[in-house]
Structure 1
Amino acid sequence: MATRREFIKLSLTTLLGAGLDAVPFFPARAAQAAPGSLMAQAGTPNPHGAFEQLYWLSGDALAGPVSAISGAPLPTESSASKSKVLHIMHFNDLHNMISLPNTKKGTTHPFSQMVALVEARRAAAGPDDVVLLLDAGDDHTGSVFDELVGWSTDEYVVDPAYTVYTAAGLDCGALGNHEFDRGAAVLRKGIREAARFPLLSANLFGSAHLKSGRDYYPAVIGVAKGVRIGLIGLTTPVDTHTKTEKDPGLDVGSPVQAVRNLVPELSRHVDLLVVLSHCGYGLSDGRSGKAGADRFLSEGDKLIAEAVAKSASCPALVIGGHTHTALNEDGLAPENVVGGVPIVQAGGRASHVGEVTMILNPGGEPKVEARLHKIKKRDERVAEGDPKFAGLEHDRDFHAGFEAAHVAPLMANLAGKMAGEIGRVTGNPPVSTDEVFAARYTREMELANFMNDALVARSATFPEGRVDVSLFNATGFASGIPTSGALTFQDWYNVMPFADTVVLVEMTGRQIAAMLDSNAKRLVRPEELKGDKRVDVTGYVSRGFLHFSSGLRYILNLNGSAVGATASSIVIQGAPLKDVLDKTFRVAMNSYVAAGGYGESWNGNPIGGGVPGGIVGFDIKSLAKSDTGLVYRNEIIAHIKSLPVLSPAAGLALDGRLKVI
C-alpha cells in the first residue's frame, strides 16, 4: 500500500502528465544580473496555461532604477498588429479554501467553481483571443488543507494550492504575506515540488531559504498569441513574517519604489504590463471587505497604480489582493482607475473570481471592462423552489472532472482528520458563529474565555512552566462552533484557521496596565453599531481588540470616545494592580500579536481599523519574547480532548473578567 506521502506524489505526477523530475521548469541556477539591469532567462510556461513563451527576469528591483535587460533575447516586436482581445481571469487570497466540506450543508467546491468559470471563458474565446489566469497571493493559511503542507520540510507532504493551480493552468502568481506563515524553507519546498508557474515579488529580499532568481522573481514576460505581457509581483511590507529566528535576513522593501525602478524599462518590451499586488486596496490605508473598517497598508494599490501610470510606456493593470476587497462588482468603477491604470481585486477566501476584458488597439488607448463572478456556497437543505436555491452551488456550477482528478486525492488524505471527533458540546452555550461574531469585538465572550483559560491550563506542560495570563486577538476567531453534539477537527479549524504559534512574553504589571488601556480604545463601541456607517462586525475589524484569561480582570470605561476610553479596577492573579506594578508576569499570546499585530498595531503605530484620533497603540512587538514553537490551535485541541465535554461548566461561560461601562 502506498504511504500518504507517496499517494500525494503520485497524484501530482498524474496531474503534470510526467514524472516530477522530468519537468524542466526552473532554471538550473539563479541568474546574476549586473546592478541597474535585469537578466532574462528563457523558461518553461505552465503546460496547462496560456503562455507559449516565458522569460524569467532576475535582478535587484530595490537597488535602483533598471535601465537594461540582458541575457536571453526578448521578442523585439509584437505580432499584435491588429486589435487583440485579452480576458484576464484573476483571484486573490484563496487561503487554501480549495474545497469546503460541511456535514450539514454538503461540500462547497470553490476552486472547481473557479475552474468551471475559467474553462467557460476559454471555450467561448475567439481563436485569436488570449485568456490568462492570474493570482495575487495569499494562497496559504485558512483551511484544513494547510495540514498537508506541514510545519517543517520533514512534515511536508504536498502544497495543495500550488498543485491545483498548476492543473488549472495558472499563468503567474504573487507571493502574499501568508505564504511565509510556516517559514520560507517550507514555502520553497512547495514552490519547487508543486508550482509549475512563476511566483513573483519585486520587493522581497534577504531570505536564507528562498532564492530570488530561482524560487521567485521580481518580474517575468510571457508571450501568448503574439501578445507580450509583463508581470511584476509585490508583497505587503506590513503583514509579512520577517526577520524571524529561522530566517533573520528576510525582509520586504517599498512596493512603490520597486515599481518605480522596474516599470520604465520593462514597459518598453511589452504590450501590456500587469502588476500583481498583494499590498491592499487604497493609499496608505483603506476600507476593505476584510478589515470592516480602515486599516494601515503602508503603500496600497492606489499609490502603486499612480507610480505605474507615471512611468509606464504601455497599457497597464493592477490586480490587487490582501484586503479581500470586492472591487468593480457593477463594472469598472471610475474611482478604481488611477491615471488610466485600472485597479481590480476579487474579494477573498474564495468569494469571487474577477474578469478583466481588455482590447489592445495598436497605437490607441485600450478598452477595458471589469466584472466579478460570485462563487456560490452549498446548502443541500434548501429545496428547489426556495428563493435562495438559485444563489447556491449545485453540481452544474463546478468542474466535476477537475474536482475528481485533482482535488479528491487531496481530500482523501484529509477526510479522516477533518471528520475526527475531538470533543462534544453540551448545555447549548452561546458559541454559534452569529453569537461569536456579535461578541468578539464588543464585550467579554464565552468562546474566548474558554480558549484563553485552556491555554493557561496547557501551559502546565510547557518546559518554561505555567503562564500567568493568556491572550488572543478578536480577529483570530473566524467562526463559532456547534452548540451541541460532536465537535470535529474541522469545526475547531474553522474557529482558528491561522498558523499561529504560542509565544511567551515577559511583562511587568505596569506594562500590562498600559496594554489594557490601549485595548480599551480598540473596542467596537455601542455607537459604532448604529446608523448607515456602522461597523460590520461580521467582517474583520482590524483594530486589535484582545481577549484575556481569567487571571486578568478589569473594567473597560468607554468615557464618551475612543481617545478617552480607559482600563480600571485591574486585578492580576488576584492582586490589585497597584500592588504589582513592578512585578514580572509571563504572558502567553499568539505569534500574530507577539509580532506586533501588523496592521492591527500592537507595535507602537497608530491604531487603525477605523479608530479616530491617531491613537498610538501599545508596543508589544518590542518586548522580550520567546517562541515555544507550539502550534496554538493544537494546544487548544489537546485541552478539549482532555475534557469529558465542552459546556458552560467547563469554561464556555462568562465570569465577569471584563466589564464594559
Structure 2
Amino acid sequence: MAPRPKDHRDITDLTVLATADLHGAITHSEANHFTPRDQGSLAQIGSYVTACRDAGENVLLLDNGDFLQGSAICDVLASVPEPDLPHPMITAMNHLGYDAVGLGNHEFDYGMPVLRKALADAAFPILCSNVTAPDQGWRSTLIIHKTLPLRGGGRCQLKIGLFSVLPQQTVAWNAEQLDGAIAAQPMLAAAQAAAQSLKAQGADLIIALAHTGIAALPTEESARDISEHVGLGIAALPEVDIMICGHAHRVFPADGPMIDGVDNTRGLVCGTPTVMPGFNGSHLGAIRLTLARQDPDSDWQIEKPACEALAVKTDPRLSQRPEDAALLAKLAPALNRAQRQSEKIIGRIDTPIQSYFSRLPGDPCPALTALAALDYAKPLLAQTDARDLPVLAVGTAFRSGGRAGPHFFTDVAPGSVSFQDLFSLYPFLNTLCVLRITGAGLRRWLDMAASNFNQIQVGSSGTVLQDLAFPCYAFDCIFGLTYAFDISQPACFAPSGERLQPLGATRVRDLRYAGRPVEDTDEFLLLTSGYRAGGGGNIPGARQLERVPLPAPALRSLMQRAIRRGVSAADLPQSPWRFSALPGTSALYRTGPAAAHHAAAFPTLAPHPAAFDAEGFALYPLDLSSKTATQSLAIPDTPAYIQP
C-alpha cells in the first residue's frame, strides 16, 4: 500500500435527521385530526427522509420521545387495544427505518403494561439513560457502527454513541399510572455518566437525545436536579458532540432563548450542534455534518455543521411532498378502527364549550373540568377526616393557541359529544389529586397564573395581554374562590417558577372564599391534577403540599362521566376571577380567527379584531377600564371582566 500523503485527511459526511414530540401525529387523516391540520405528519416527513436516502445521503434517523401519546388514535388504541397488531406509531417508525428512539415523559402516561407491549414490536433500539424499571424494554446507551464512504474513495467505520434522558418528574407526573414501577435519576447526572461511558467504549461521535428544553440553568444544584429544561448543561458536557432537544415544544434554531451560550442563527448550544424540531410533526430537525480526521488513528472532528429545523408546512423541501403512500396503506386498519371509536357518542351538552377566550374570565373549558372534579370528589371527601375543609377545584384550558398556532383551540358545539370532542376538551391522561393548601399557598398558585399576563401600564393601549413565554396550558383558574388580578403590577413569577419580585409582592387582589377574605393561615382542599401536584407547570410550592388519599381516576374519565349525565350552562360553576379596573386602559387579546363566531358573547371585547399578527392570531381590543356587573358566570350573557 502506498504511504498516505502528509496533507491527506479522511473526510466523510453524515446527515442526522430527528423528530421529537410527535404525539401520535402519524397522518393528516380524520382519525388523527386532533393534530392541527396546519402542522405536519410523520407520513409526510417520511417522504422527505426517503428522498434524502435515495439521493445518496448518509442518513441517521432519530426520535427524541413523546411519540406514543397525544392523538385520538393513540388514546383509542391504548384504551381498547388490538392484541395482535403493533401500535401504529411503532408500525410507522419501523417502516421509516428509525436508527434509534429515545423515550419521553408521555410514553409513561398509559402505564408500564401498555408501554412494554408497544416497545416489544419495535424494530429499532429504544433508549432512556435515567429511568429504570423491571423488564423495561429499553437500554441506557447504544453504539451504532455505521460504514460511510470517504470523499476521496474508500470507506470508514464510524462508532456513533447515543444516550437519552427525560425529566425526572415523570415519576411524579404519572404516579397513579406507574404505581412505583419506575425509578428516575436527575437528567444532568445521568447524561454525564452515559456520555463518559460511551467515550470509554470508543465512540467516535456522541449524540444526546435530550428530552428537555434549552433554558438558563438554576444556580442551585438542587434546583438543577428537578429542572425540566437542562439542555444547556447537557450541551456543555465535553463528551457530547450533537444534541437533539425536545419536550418544550419549541423550534431550534430560531426560537431558542436569548441567553449566553445559545446561537439561534447557527444552531449551536455551548458550541454543540443542536436542533429542537417543534411538535406534532411541525418540523424535522436536520444536522448535516462534515467529519474529518488526519489519519485512521486520529479522532474525528466536526467541521462546519449545518443545523436546521425544517418546517413541514412551509419549507418546499417538505411542504410539496405527499404523505408516504405505502405507510398509509399499512396504517389503514388501525386508522379506520380508531375513526369508528372516536366518533362514538358519550353524552350531550346544551351550550358551546370553546377556549378562544381562555385567558379571560368566563372561559367554559376550565369550568367543565372543575364541575367534573367537584361532582366526583366532594361526596368522597365528606367521608374523610378532612370533611370540614372547603373544597376548591383547578380548571385549565389546554388547547388555547400558544406555540401550536392560531387553530389550536377547543370548539365543541351544543348537542351530542363524541370521544373526539372529549379528547379536544382534555387531551391528557392526568389523574385527579387532592392537596391540602393554605391561603398563602393559594395566593402563590394564583400569582403564577397571573404571571401569564404582560404588565399593562395604566392609560396605555396596544399591549398584547398574554405573555407569550407562558405555555397555553399554564393558566389555572381556581373555582370556589373569588379574586381579581391587578396586571398594572409586574409579574411575580417566570414560567420556570422563579420568583421575579420580592416576597410580599402580588397581583392577586380581594381573594375571598364564601364572601370573606382569605387569610394566609386558612386551610383548603384543592382538586388538581397529578401533573400539577408533581411540579408540572412549575407552580411554586406545589410539590411540597400534602396529598389527601383518594381514589384517583383520570380527569378525562370524570369529564366523560359528567357529559354522560348531560351538562347545561346552569351546571357550570361561576367564573372565579376578574381584572382589577385600569382607568383609561385597553390591551389586545390574542386568539384564533375562529373566535369571531363567539366574540359577541364577550361585550368587553371589540366585536371585530383590530389586526392579525404574523402567526395568524386575531388581536381583539379589550377594555380594561369597564365597570360592569359584579357577577361573572362561566357561560355569561353579560360577563363582568373588570372588578370595580
TM-score by length of 1: 0.68
User: Equivalent of 1:592, from 531, 534, 550?
Assistant: 531
State the partner residue of 2:429.
Answer: 499
Q: 1:657 to 1:447 in 2, by over 3 A?
A: same
Map 1:27-46 → 2, pairs under 5 A: none
1:90 Cα deviation (Å)? Answer: 0.6
State the partner residue of 2:579.
Answer: 660
Percent identical across equivalent pairs?
22
Q: Please state if 1:254 is matched with 2:178.
A: no
Map 1:271-286 → 2, pairs under 5 A: 271-284=204-217
1:121 Cα deviation (Å)? Answer: 0.9
Q: 1:141 to 1:168 in 2, by over 3 A?
A: same
For residues 106 and 327 of structure 1, what CA distance do their matches in structure 2 show?
A: 24
1:596 Cα deviation (Å)? Answer: 2.9
1:349 Cα deviation (Å)? Answer: 2.0
What value does the CA root-mean-square deviation take over the aligned residues? 4.0
1:167 Cα deviation (Å)? Answer: 2.0
CA deviations over 1:403-427 (Å, ceiling 9, x no partner): 111x222212211121223455656
The one-letter code matched in structure 1 to 2:372 is: A
Map 1:88-487 → 2, pairs under 5 A: 88-102=16-30, 110-125=41-56, 129-148=57-76, 150=78, 158-192=86-120, 194-205=121-132, 207=133, 209-211=134-136, 215-225=137-147, 226-238=157-169, 240-241=171-172, 244=175, 246-248=178-180, 250-264=182-196, 266-267=198-199, 269-284=202-217, 297=227, 300-307=230-237, 310-311=238-239, 316-328=241-253, 333=264, 336-338=267-269, 340-363=271-294, 364-376=301-313, 396-405=321-330, 407-423=331-347, 429=352, 431-433=353-355, 435-436=356-357, 439-440=358-359, 442-459=360-377, 468-475=391-398, 479-484=409-414, 486-487=416-417
Contact in 2 for aligned 1:176/1:278 (Cα 8 Å): yes
For residues 276 and 528 of structure 1, what CA distance do their matches in structure 2 show?
A: 40
Name the SS for the 1:343 alignment partner. strand
Name the SS for the 1:398 alignment partner. coil
Q: 1:356 to 1:154 in 2, by over 3 A?
A: closer
CA deviations over 1:43-87 (Å, ceiling 9, x no partner): xxxxxxxxxxxxxxxxxxxxxxxxxxxxxxxxxxxxx98422212
The one-letter code matched in structure 2 to 1:625 is: V
Q: 1:345 to 1:105 in 2, by over 3 A?
A: closer
The one-letter code matched in structure 2 to 1:419 is: E
1:490 Cα deviation (Å)? Answer: 1.2
Q: 1:275 to 1:526 in 2, by over 3 A?
A: closer
For residues 547 and 94 of structure 2, what CA distance do their matches in structure 1 show?
A: 42
Task: Give the total of aligned pairs.
Answer: 513
For residues 203 and 354 of structure 1, what CA distance do their matches in structure 2 show?
A: 24
Give the gaps of 5 or more residues in structure 2.
1-7, 148-156, 220-225, 257-262, 295-300, 401-407, 493-504, 581-644
TM-score by length of 2: 0.69
Name the SS for the 2:306 alignment partner. strand
Name the SS for the 2:412 alignment partner. coil
Map 1:495-534 → 2, pairs under 5 A: 495-507=425-437, 511-512=438-439, 514-523=441-450, 524-527=452-455
For residues 413 and 317 of structure 1, what CA distance do their matches in structure 2 show?
A: 40
1:571 Cα deviation (Å)? Answer: 4.2
Q: 1:451 to 1:619 in 2, by over 3 A?
A: closer
For residues 104 and 483 of structure 1, what CA distance do their matches in structure 2 show?
A: 20
For residues 511 and 372 of structure 2, what CA distance do their matches in structure 1 show?
A: 22
- Greater alpha carbon shift after TM alignment, 92-101 vs 258-267: 258-267
Q: Please state if 1:641 is matched with 2:564.
A: yes
State the partner residue of 1:576.
Answer: 516
For residues 635 and 357 of structure 1, what CA distance do their matches in structure 2 show?
A: 48
For residues 426 and 298 of structure 1, what CA distance do their matches in structure 2 show?
A: 40
For residues 106 and 472 of structure 1, what CA distance do their matches in structure 2 show?
A: 21
For residues 114 and 157 of structure 1, what CA distance do their matches in structure 2 show?
A: 23
Name the SS for the 1:146 alignment partner. helix
Q: 1:531 to 1:227 in 2, by over 3 A?
A: farther
Q: 1:548 to 1:491 in 2, by over 3 A?
A: same
Q: 1:432 to 1:302 in 2, by over 3 A?
A: same
CA deviations over 1:379-407 (Å, ceiling 9, x no partner): xxxxxxxxx9x99978x5211221111x2
The one-letter code matched in structure 2 to 1:415 is: Q
CA deviations over 1:245-290 (Å, ceiling 9, x no partner): 654373332333333334345236233221111121234279xxxx
Contact in 2 for aligned 1:301/1:343 (Cα 8 Å): no
CA deviations over 1:174-228 (Å, ceiling 9, x no partner): 1111122222343223222x222111122224x3x354xxx22221111222332
For residues 453 and 163 of structure 2, what CA distance do their matches in structure 1 show?
A: 41
For residues 324 and 285 of structure 1, what CA distance do their matches in structure 2 show?
A: 21
For residues 578 and 535 of structure 1, what CA distance do their matches in structure 2 show?
A: 27
Name the SS for the 1:360 alignment partner. strand
Q: 1:404 to 1:547 in 2, by over 3 A?
A: same
The one-letter code matched in structure 2 to 1:658 is: W
State the partner residue of 2:500.
Answer: none
The one-letter code matched in structure 2 to 1:482 is: V
Q: 1:151 to 1:586 in 2, by over 3 A?
A: farther
Contact in 2 for aligned 1:181/1:241 (Cα 8 Å): no
